[in-house]
């Protein structure tokens, strides 16, 4: 069967997913800068699971039930501090470089970010949800080639309310990689747009992404600027990250 491949570029589109039956759809979520890159890095460092939640209050509620979890995430790009929680400091922000084995191995991490974890939660009814980034792009494409889904929805988390170039380019890179992954597929127009944007930018992705709003924001901040280069390392972590029945994201292989 030929797999139909669609791309959603903006939060307005992913919020509308609640109206849609995703029971036979595999969603692949991209928030290259930085939530999905951070989740992939955490799993590569040995985290047991990452549970995405929409709101800070939900993260705090999980911590009350399970004091052993780590709290992670950002608002305005920065680690969530006591002023936003009524006194509790989150353990980690949203910089993938913080998620070392020493900090996260064996841990469950509850995470809330502005766009990325919301995009993941918006896919809740999907047959399967994969967490993707440039760090695990090829492993994700190969997995899709083996799984042969009926329908594939690439969900770009975006920046604020808008599309994000880095997510579009990563979704386009995945569309391009499906060929070598031997998935029989057909790209819908949005997927063709993403793939063509990637093919045009691929010779110098760092330059193209450096012009994007999210990258410019990170590059302006000395403590966050190295995250951009970190997140653009192609296939640094050859793992597949997928949701499980409890909503947590785990490493499949």
- What minimum distance in Å lies between the beta carbon of 222 and ligand MLT? 15
- What minimum distance in Å lies between the beta carbon of 95 and ligand MLT? 8
Number of residues this chain uses to bind ligand MLT (CB under 6 A) = 12
- What minimum distance in Å lies between the beta carbon of 123 and ligand MLT? 14
List the Cα angle 90/46/127 in 5-degree steps.
90
Site stretch for ligand MLT (CB under 6 A), options 11-19, 31-39, 83-91, 178-186: 31-39
Our finding on whether 10 is near ligand MLT (CB under 6 A) is no
Site stretch for ligand MLT (CB under 6 A), options 28-36, 41-49, 63-71, 123-131: 28-36
Our finding on whether 34 is near ligand MLT (CB under 6 A) is yes
| Interaction residues for ligand MLT, span 140-159 (CB under 6 A) | 157
Our finding on whether 94 is near ligand MLT (CB under 6 A) is yes
Among 3, 17, 27, 33, binds ligand MLT (CB under 6 A): 33
Among 8, 50, 56, 74, binds ligand MLT (CB under 6 A): 74
- What minimum distance in Å lies between the beta carbon of 189 and ligand MLT? 26
Helices 165-180 and 137-147: crossing angle, nearest 10°? 50
Cα distance between residue 98 and residue 232, in whole Å: 16
| Interaction residues for ligand MLT, span 214-233 (CB under 6 A) | none
- What minimum distance in Å lies between the beta carbon of 203 and ligand MLT? 25
Q: Which residue has the tokens 């955490």?
A: 42
Nearer to ligand MLT, 192 or 219 (CB): 219
CA distance to 113, 213, 224, per residue, from 52 (Å): 8, 24, 22
| Interaction residues for ligand MLT, span 105-134 (CB under 6 A) | 113-116
The answer to whether the peptide bond before residue 144 is cis (omega within 30 degrees of 0) is no
C-alpha of 229 from chain center? 16
- What minimum distance in Å lies between the beta carbon of 206 and ligand MLT? 17
- What minimum distance in Å lies between the beta carbon of 60 and ligand MLT? 18
**Residue numbers of the site for ligand MLT (CB under 6 A)?**
31, 33-35, 74, 77, 94, 113-116, 157
């Amino acid at each position: 069967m030929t797999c139909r491949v669609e791309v959603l570029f903006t939060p307005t589109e992913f919020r509308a997913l609640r109206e849609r039956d995703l029971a036979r759809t595999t969603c692949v979520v991209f928030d290259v800068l930085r939530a999905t890159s951070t989740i992939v890095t955490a799993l590569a460092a040995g985290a047991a699971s990452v549970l995405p939640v929409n709101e800070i209050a939900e993260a705090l509620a999980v911590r009350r039930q399970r004091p052993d979890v780590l709290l992670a995430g950002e608002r305005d790009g920065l680690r969530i501090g006591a002023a936003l929680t009524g006194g509790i400091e989150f353990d980690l922000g949203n910089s993938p470089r913080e998620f070392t084995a020493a900090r996260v191995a064996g841990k469950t991490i509850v995470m809330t970010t502005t766009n990325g974890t919301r995009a993941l939660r918006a896919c809740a009814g999907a047959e399967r949800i994969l967490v993707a980034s440039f760090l695990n792009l090829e492993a994700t494409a190969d997995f899709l080639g083996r799984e042969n889904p009926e329908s594939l929805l690439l969900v770009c988390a975006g920046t604020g309310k808008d599309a994000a170039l880095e997510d579009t380019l990563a979704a386009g890179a995945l569309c391009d990689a499906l060929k070598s992954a031997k998935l029989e597929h057909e790209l819908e127009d949005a997927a063709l747009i993403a793939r063509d944007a990637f093919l045009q930018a691929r010779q110098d992705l760092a330059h193209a992404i450096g012009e994007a709003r999210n990258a410019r924001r990170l590059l302006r901040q000395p403590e966050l600027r190295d995250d951009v280069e970190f997140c653009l390392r192609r296939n640094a972590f050859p793992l597949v990250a997928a949701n499980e029945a409890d909503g947590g994201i785990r490493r499949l292989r």
